[in-house]
Amino acid sequence: DAKTTQPPSMDCAEGRAANLPCNHSTISGNEYVYWYRQIHSQGPQYIIHGLKNNETNEMASLIITEDRKSSTLILPHATLRDTAVYYCILSMEYGNKLVFGAGTILRVKS
Amino acid sequence: GAVVSQHPSRVICKSGTSVKIECRSLDFQATTMFWYRQFPKKSLMLMATSNEGSKATYEQGVEKDKFLINHASLTLSTLTVTSAHPEDSSFYICSALAGGRADTQYFGPGTRLTVL
């Protein structure tokens, strides 16, 4: 069973920031928060991951609450190509398998 | 960096035949690869974990004699669907743990299998 809860779908206007929430109230101390996305009929794409500090890379920012029970993935300037299913997954950092939930369908609209 | 390829991208076969899918890490060595299956409008389901030089570990409910996994080198894992039936039609996706840090799975583009 997935240990995260995400809204089933969200809409975002092109050029605006997309903020995707994820609840993980039962996260354990050594579990990382991973974000992947899957564009239709493609393999998932790694976005970002973090333990407790906020993280940023060229694709997105990850904001993790201080109690680590929830997080938000931020795509700063969404484009139509960001339309995808976004998965928030908990996993140990080294070599552990990923359990995919239903994810959030993000629709970026012009 | 961290590119994973799969071959073929699409395959159509007759019921009862076997199909082999290859997963390659192109620019890194992967001691561990994973195989997933995804049915239409569903999420990815892990089938097995493949470790180089050893037997694969299968998830509960996945028949190891039907889905043969071979991880013969640090850049190649293969999944063979034996005696395929229409219910095996699915999107098969592999992933590989990037060598060195091994903290991130990188996924292949997937293989669409249709069994007639």
**Model confidence over A36-90: pLDDT tens digits?**
999 998 999 999 999 998 999 999 999 999 999 999 999 999 999 999 999 999 9
A82 secondary structure, DSSP code? G
As a whole number, the mean pLDDT across chain A is 93
Q: Which chain B positions have a beta carbon within 8 Å of A100's beta carbon?
A: 36, 43-46
pLDDT band at B1 (very low <50, low <70, confident <90, very high): low
Rounded-to-integer distance, Cα B91 and Cα B98, Å: 23
- Residue B79: per-residue pLDDT: 97
Q: Does B103 touch chain A (CB under 8 A)?
A: yes
Type of residue numbered A96: N
The beta strands (E) that lie in A1-110 are given as 9-13, 18-23, 32-38, 45-50, 55-56, 61-64, 70-75, 84-91, 104-109
CA distances from A9 to A51, A52, A73, A87, B92 (A): 25, 26, 14, 11, 24
pLDDT band at A17 (very low <50, low <70, confident <90, very high): very high
Q: Are A100 and A3 in contact (CB under 8 A)?
A: no
Rounded-to-integer distance, Cα B42 and Cα A1, Å: 14
Which of B36, B49, B106 minimises the CB distance to A46?
B106
Which of A36, A42, A97 minimises the CB distance to B34?
A97
The C-alpha angle A21, A26, A31, rounded to 5 degrees, equals 85
pLDDT band at B101 (very low <50, low <70, confident <90, very high): low
Please provide residue B88's backbone torsions phi and psi, each rounded to the nearest 5 degrees: -85, -5
User: Which residues is B112 bridged to in the sheet?
Assistant: B10, B91
- Residue B99: per-residue pLDDT: 60
- Residue B97: per-residue pLDDT: 87
Could you tell me which residues come within 8 angstroms of residue A49 by beta carbon, excluding any fewer than 6 positions away?
A32, A33, A34, A35, A55, A62, A93, B103, B104
Prior bond of A7 cis (ω within 30°): no
Q: Does A44 touch chain B (CB under 8 A)?
A: yes
> Is the per-residue pLDDT at B100 higher than 80?
no
Could you tell me which residues come within 8 angstroms of residue B103 by beta carbon, excluding any fewer than 6 positions away?
A32, A49, A93, A94, B97
Q: How many H helices and E strands in chain B?
A: 0, 11
Q: What is the mean pLDDT of residues B65-73?
A: 92
